[in-house]
Amino acid sequence: MLINIITLFPEMFTGVFEQSILHRARETNKIEIHLINLREYGLGAHRVVDDAPFGGGGGMILKPEPIAAALEDLAETGHVIITTPRGKHFQQADASRLSRMDVVTIICGHYEGIDERVTQLFVHEELSIGDYVLTGGEIPAMVITDALTRLIPGVLGKDTMETGDSHYNGMLEHPHYTRPREFRGIVVPEVLLSGNHEEIRAWRESKALEKTKTMRPDMLCKKTSGCECRNNKDED
């Protein structure tokens, strides 16, 4: 899989992409990450990439010409994404969907935003990692890249779609324990020491449901068409 990332700050990605699972995925050619410095496509001697918005207002807007030039200079763009606070919430299902694509290109938003014509001409979807505003789209691009990379077959050495990780099956993950059996007065649940796989599975399912009800009841609402909180949300 090829992931292109167009950014004004490619150096931000160096440490993240050269560590742990992402590093191994690149070393074993499971993914190829191509960082494109948008500044190299800036206009004029000063490599200008932004300008003031028409209609006034604070901040600057990324110009369309440098982004268009960067995209058109790529051998393949595939599925093009912009990271932006106004985008659709990025979820596990999106990571799964994107991980099955051959080429994904992520444009990192910055300043007050990107000229709307870039979205109209080149972009397939806009994604956000949460209801808050960051200094730029680089960290969301890292999050998206990490989330989809771990789902590529062979990256984790197991079929991740069969794990009990949070969000895979619409619920949060069950609690985990390791040695020692007792820590500061808290003992590992006896069922996990029983060796009875069916009882362990049932315990994990019940605890996952319990955790989800407590921490993220909205996730259970998504599974229930008649849920009151879901209906209220749809009316907002």
Which pLDDT score is estimated for 57? 86
Phi, psi of 57 (to 5 degrees): 115, 165
The CB-side HSE value for 108 (13 A sphere, CA atoms) comes to: 29
Give the three-state DSSP class for 124.
Answer: coil
85 has catalytic annotation: yes
- Residue 112 is a catalytic residue: yes
Among residues 51, 94, 112, 173, the one annotated as catalytic is 112
Q: In this structure, are residues 82 and 107 in contact, taking their beta carbons and an 8 Å threshold?
A: yes
Query: Pick the catalytic residue: 24, 26, 39, 150?
Result: 150
What pLDDT shows up at residue 221?
82
Question: What number of other Cβ atoms are within 10 A of residue 56's Cβ?
Answer: 6
198 burial (CB, 10 Å; 0-12 / 13-18 / 19+) is exposed
Q: 11, 18, 76, 165: which one is catalytic?
A: 165
Structural domains of the chain, with CATH: 2-149 (3.40.1280.10), 164-235 (1.10.1270.20)
pTM given for the model: 0.85
Among 24, 39, 85, 210, the active-site one is 85
Task: Look at residue 176 in the predicted model and tell me its pLDDT.
Answer: 94
Q: Can 180 be counted among the known catalytic residues?
A: no
Residue-level pLDDT at 161:
46
Instruction: Compute the CA torsion angle 158, 163, 169, 173 (nearest 10 deg).
Output: -140
**Residue 165 falls in the annotated catalytic set:** yes
The reported pLDDT for the residue numbered 170 is 78
Q: Which residues of the chain have pLDDT under 70?
A: 158-169, 223-236
Quickly list DSSP for 43-59: BTTTTB-EEPPTT--SS
